[in-house]
Structure 1
Amino acid sequence: MEVTIFTETLVPAPTTPRKEINMILLQAQGVGRSFDGIDLFTNVNLQIQDNSRVGLVGPNGIGKTTLLEIIAGIATPDYGAVTTRKNLSIGYLAQNSGLDSSKEIYAEMLDGFKELRAMEQQMHALEAKIADPATAKDDATYAATLKQYDQLSNDFREQNGYGYEAEIRNVLAGFNFAPERYHDQISTLSGGERSRLALAKMLLSRHDLIILDEPTNHLDIDTLGWLEGYLRGYKGAILIVSHDQYFLDHTINEVYELSPRGATHYTGNYSQYRQQRAANLDQAWKAYNKQQEEIAKLQEFVDKNIVRASSTKQAQSRRKQLEKMDRLKRPSGEQSAHFHFTAAKSSGNEVLKVRNATIGYAPDEPMAGPIDFTVNKGERIGIVGPNGVGKSTLLKSILGRIPFLQGDAVLGANVQPGYYDQDQASLNPKNTVLEEVWQEHPTTPEKDIRSALAAFLLGAGDVEKTVASLSGGQKARLLMTKLAMDHDNFLILDEPTNHLDINSKEVLEQALEDFNGTVLFVSHDRYFINSLADRLVVLSPAGSEIVLGNWDYYQEKQQEATNPEQANNTGVFGTTTTQKQTTNSQGAADYAAAKADQKAQRKLQRRVDAAEKTIEDLEAQKQAILDEMALPENATAAVKLQDMQKDVDAIDAKLTDAEAEWEAAGIALEDSEQ
């Protein structure tokens, strides 16, 4: 097995084309790894077939990178084994690794095709030999040379010998390296550029299996879209770890979820995995609860009948049944944040109006303008556009931190804006986590601040740490804690998903969806944009355009605009024929209606869940009082029993209301799904 590791150096892979189809390339059987005697994960079984598209997911710290290194042959497992097909070529791209080379960009890419270039040189030599009159005089030599040339040229053609330089140019263009940069020294490039080149060389090496650990770092949205298309057409197997759900949705068709006890296999992309996982978890809870009910009934029978002569044998039989029962483990998932945002007071209907605005830092160098849009109460609006166009600058100008070069932004009545800064500049690195929050909320009891921090996964072991010692993800969750405690009604968020793992991002999406205020956000996270945005403000140097939909709808409209059969205008959302305008408006209206229906269903489902939880809590309270009333010492305490009975009656009244709410919400939910 040959492995190419893109950490410090690159080892060229063989260019022999793969001939096997739908064969198993690699298997991990019972693989486990431990550190300091503690198991990180155990009993991992995983299989990768020819042309597989596999995503590896799991919570931070579970060992995804460690497992990738084991699969790539860089690290050895403490348990189990990894077996591969003979002569399997593996390329491994480590997280945040960059290409380390003293060569020029194009020369480095050519190095991956040494065998093809050697064949090309040999072909030229044979061509010269065939053209040599001396060879032509010797029929046997001429025939042998011609045969050798025919075989070599056929091999050269099959291995894309006539197209490899075009492929290099295509890949370099995909990673934003224009021809005028081909002679740039790699050693002079930025870390992000060298990371992109490492990925480019990996793709050009044509391995049987490529393993990518967070390959979307340092890539903008356009490059991500290009990479997704390239990977879909890649003639090899792919194993990916990524926090970018949209990227996973568009590149993989199966998922392994890593946990301490193994890896669970799912078919489909990331969104389908989430649906299957939720269904499996729901089924597991149903099976567990059903068994718990059965256990409770059996135990109750044993407790009541074990001392009765007439039924002791039956009770003993039930007890043996309990002892032999294969008890299901309580279903559990990884720990995740569970925060929410609430507005202390309601704003007016018009939250923000940006009028004829131009943004930038110097009048003679504007970034974008004119910009015009309105934000209404309850909307979730995303701002998108190319890097450097001024998306973050626009947010800061709206907040008055950077003056507009032209135009203005007006906040509506009773609007209280809260700001999330992707640079995390508002955090004091010298403060402890507890001090950072307490200084802004000095009258809040310490236990309440600790509870708020715990909701964002900043527990007892974190609150005494200094802000400077926190990871990027911990700082992001600290900022979210402060934002949630301010209870503003207009959240202005600049790249809020940066530094967050997948679980935290999904909780954030739900929290913002449930928020009873208004949201304006900048994000490059396409999955997040799709999940949250009602409308998009598309920024360009020429100004702004409004899209009545999410990221996918925006991409669909872009494709239509660039297709001459469907659109004849130069702008993506400019004026076309009346028929086209009508079609677009109807499509946007349909999308908005569908999103509103989905939102309404989610709210109804939350009503049902909340009512069920209330009923469970009330029944537990009632049972606790009844158990206390049944105690022998309370049998003669008439006054105390009367008071406890009043408590029971009050709970019964609350139960009646909760059951009525549960029934009404359930009927409404059923009607909405029809």
Structure 2
Amino acid sequence: MRVVLSDVDVTASPGDRLGVVGENGAGKSTLLRVLGGRQAPDSGTVRRPARVTLLGQVPDLPDGGTVRDAVDGALASYRGLESRMRELEDAMSAGDAEALEEYGDVLEEYERRDGWSADARAERSVAGLGLGAVAVDRDLSTLSGGQRARLALALALVSADDLLLLDEPTNHLDDDALDYLESALREHPGVVVVVSHDRAFLDAVCTSVLDLDPSLQVEPDGTTRVGPERSSGAYTDYLAAKAAGRVRWAQARDAWETAHDEARAALSGASRQVGHGPRAPRDNDKFVPHFLGQKVDAAVARRVRDAENRLARLEANPVPRPPEERAFAGLGAARPADGVLVAARDIEIPGRLQLDALDVTATTRLLVTGPNGAGKSTLLAVLAGELTTAHGTVQHRGRLRIGYLPQHDAAGDLGATAATAYGVGRGGDPQRARDELRTTGLLHPRDLDRPMGELSVGQRRRVALARAIADRPDLLLLDEPTNHLSVALVEELQEALAGGTVPYVLVTHDRWWRRGWDGAELRLAGDVRGQR
């Protein structure tokens, strides 16, 4: 049995908006289920308010009915409060004095949850998340996956429960819907706990961030432990705290190693003196009192005990080594050839892509943008040599090593192990491929020999990323590299590319990456006829 979560302490008050981040498999979704009462912890306690909404990545909608039925279901609690208030009003009119106290409690609850605007809020949520054009009498079974996800999110916002738990709510949302969601969560009166890989969203919404990845914690008694860490502020503040934490961890490890070496040296030196007391007295100094030798022996014994105790304390509370850098560090050592690496001229794929010219050089840092269907993924496939054009030419420099990460990874042999899938087409023996994948740190050692079909989407994405950066490519072509990856991994990749020497062409919907982009940009038009 593998422990998913351990030593997690979470306290939140109304108005707190907690973002949860961590590697794939760190237990983010599990934490939401535990907080929401859907899963009981093996140990520990959870105290939660009475009204909780948990929205997972799979939309939780009724099996039947219409959009109107679903909205009415989200408003049912308000309808119940309204109905009870009418009953109590009638009772008070009939002279029931005891009804007054309950009426005050029900009215307070109704106002606290802003029941007066619940219907208007439902309309705003449905429209704000891009469903305004969907007929209210439309059957839920006819909605697309994206529409179902957005409707489920809209209904969760309508509920205005005291605890709102959201798992990757930004999936399937365009920029306008994202703006609405961010605004709605900032106005939510209760507690919000959200798992998300969208860094711009986390920065816009969160008042604190809980990182489930290991961080070094210093206890009040001076001992250390490795566990989750919570930082105050938005995602920007979390990044600063994370960077400072890495420095402290490295310094603490260095200090522990130094103290450990000194304790071992002191113990070794003191031990060598045991049994080597004062020399035997000569005839001319037999008057030296015997007790001086006893005092020396006692002092040596004390030094031995002190060194043993100091070493025991250090080894009882070791500071583990900080996590090693991933294989992205190798991107900074790449030395691509000078000049033009890929030259594309008069490219045309009917209905998908049309482009006059593009040169990718050893200094290229290019962001490709444009609406869906503009041909961004098609362009990268053409540059990679994976897709043949109907017209035009694409010339690659001789012996050019291209690392290509497509947006949708090929399924391949789902029965093959992760290590085998990594080594396909790369030559060498299987053990070497396994060792290489292990050293990247992109996949946990326990998953190296698992079949690809048993890995999560995020884990399979990591294998594809490891293949793309293998052998220090001369050029990287990255199509939506943030998909299914943790924020920490994306941060490391972005930092390595920014500080490295390998040229790359990037397609990404990641708003955080795009907002900070300072390189060249190629915008493809939505209509391929307008790209010439």
Q: Tell me the TM-score normalised to structure 2 length.
A: 0.76
* Cα drift, residue 285 of structure 1: 3.3
* Cα drift, residue 207 of structure 1: 0.9
Alignment partner, residue 309 of structure 1: 277
- 2:211, 2:228 within 8 Å by CA — same for their partners in 1? yes
Aligned length, in residue pairs = 483
Provide the identity percentage: 27
Mapped to 2, the partners of 1:399 and 1:290 lie a distance apart of 48
* Cα drift, residue 402 of structure 1: 5.1
- Alignment equivalent of 2:153, drawn from 196, 199, 217: 199
- 2:336, 2:475 within 8 Å by CA — same for their partners in 1? no
* Cα drift, residue 171 of structure 1: 1.4
Alignment partner, residue 633 of structure 1: none
- 2:474, 2:502 within 8 Å by CA — same for their partners in 1? yes
Residues 584-625 of structure 1 deviation map (CA, whole Å, 9 limit, x = unaligned): xxxxxxxxxxxxxxxxxxxxxxxxxxxxxxxxxxxxxxxxxx
Which one is further off, 89-98 or 368-377? 368-377
Alignment partner, residue 233 of structure 2: 268
- Alignment equivalent of 1:79, drawn from 43, 67, 70: 43
- Alignment equivalent of 1:48, drawn from 12, 18, 23: 12
Alignment partner, residue 231 of structure 1: 185
Letter in 2 for 1:302: L
- 1:381, 1:533 within 8 Å by CA — same for their partners in 2? no
Structure 1 pair 313–39 and aligned structure 2 pair: CA distance change class (3 A)? farther
Residues 59-106 of structure 1 deviation map (CA, whole Å, 9 limit, x = unaligned): 333333223222222222232212245xx4221112323323422223
SS at match of 1:80: coil
Structure 1 pair 64–517 and aligned structure 2 pair: CA distance change class (3 A)? closer
Q: Say yes or no: does 1:285 pair with 2:250.
A: yes
- 1:450, 1:459 within 8 Å by CA — same for their partners in 2? no
SS at match of 1:419: strand
Mapped to 1, the partners of 2:300 and 2:236 lie a distance apart of 49
* Cα drift, residue 111 of structure 1: 2.9
Structure 1 pair 460–53 and aligned structure 2 pair: CA distance change class (3 A)? closer
- 2:405, 2:477 within 8 Å by CA — same for their partners in 1? yes
RMSD: 4.2
* Cα drift, residue 211 of structure 1: 1.0
- 1:176, 1:223 within 8 Å by CA — same for their partners in 2? yes
* Cα drift, residue 462 of structure 1: 4.8
SS at match of 1:218: coil
* Cα drift, residue 199 of structure 1: 1.2
- Alignment equivalent of 2:380, drawn from 379, 390, 395: 395
Alignment partner, residue 319 of structure 1: 304
Q: Say yes or no: does 1:346 pair with 2:337.
A: yes
Mapped to 2, the partners of 1:533 and 1:241 lie a distance apart of 29
Q: Say yes or no: does 1:299 pair with 2:264.
A: yes
Structure 1 pair 67–434 and aligned structure 2 pair: CA distance change class (3 A)? closer
- Alignment equivalent of 2:493, drawn from 497, 508, 521: 508
- 1:299, 1:319 within 8 Å by CA — same for their partners in 2? no
* Cα drift, residue 215 of structure 1: 2.0
Q: Tell me the TM-score normalised to structure 1 length.
A: 0.61
Of structures 1 and 2, the one scoring higher in RCO (CA 8 A, sep 6+) is 2
SS at match of 1:493: strand
- 2:36, 2:54 within 8 Å by CA — same for their partners in 1? yes
Mapped to 2, the partners of 1:79 and 1:467 lie a distance apart of 32
Residues 555-606 of structure 1 deviation map (CA, whole Å, 9 limit, x = unaligned): xxxxxxxxxxxxxxxxxxxxxxxxxxxxxxxxxxxxxxxxxxxxxxxxxxxx
Letter in 1 for 2:408: D
* Cα drift, residue 242 of structure 1: 1.9
Structure 1 pair 439–211 and aligned structure 2 pair: CA distance change class (3 A)? closer
Mapped to 1, the partners of 2:43 and 2:112 lie a distance apart of 42
- Alignment equivalent of 1:490, drawn from 470, 475, 489: 475
- 2:341, 2:396 within 8 Å by CA — same for their partners in 1? yes
Structure 1 pair 61–319 and aligned structure 2 pair: CA distance change class (3 A)? farther
Q: Say yes or no: does 1:103 pair with 2:65.
A: yes
Mapped to 2, the partners of 1:275 and 1:390 lie a distance apart of 37
* Cα drift, residue 263 of structure 1: 3.7
Structure 1 pair 168–336 and aligned structure 2 pair: CA distance change class (3 A)? farther
* Cα drift, residue 460 of structure 1: 6.5
Mapped to 2, the partners of 1:159 and 1:266 lie a distance apart of 29
Letter in 2 for 1:197: L
Mark the runs of 5 or more structure 2 residues left unpaired by the alignment. 95-103, 215-225, 279-295
Letter in 2 for 1:106: R
Mapped to 2, the partners of 1:124 and 1:73 lie a distance apart of 32
Q: Say yes or no: does 1:91 pair with 2:53.
A: yes
Alignment partner, residue 247 of structure 1: 201
Mapped to 1, the partners of 2:303 and 2:471 lie a distance apart of 56
Structure 1 pair 60–54 and aligned structure 2 pair: CA distance change class (3 A)? same
* Cα drift, residue 545 of structure 1: 12
* Cα drift, residue 489 of structure 1: 1.9
Q: Say yes or no: does 1:386 pair with 2:371.
A: yes
- Alignment equivalent of 1:525, drawn from 488, 510, 524: 510
- 2:420, 2:430 within 8 Å by CA — same for their partners in 1? no
Mapped to 2, the partners of 1:318 and 1:62 lie a distance apart of 45
- 1:98, 1:196 within 8 Å by CA — same for their partners in 2? no
* Cα drift, residue 404 of structure 1: 5.9
1:324-343 pair list within 5 angstroms: 324-325=309-310, 326-327=313-314, 328-333=317-322, 337-339=326-328, 340-341=330-331, 343=334
Mapped to 1, the partners of 2:113 and 2:451 lie a distance apart of 56
Residues 362-409 of structure 1 deviation map (CA, whole Å, 9 limit, x = unaligned): 4xxxx6767776544323222233333332123234456556688x56
* Cα drift, residue 544 of structure 1: 11
Mapped to 2, the partners of 1:454 and 1:214 lie a distance apart of 28
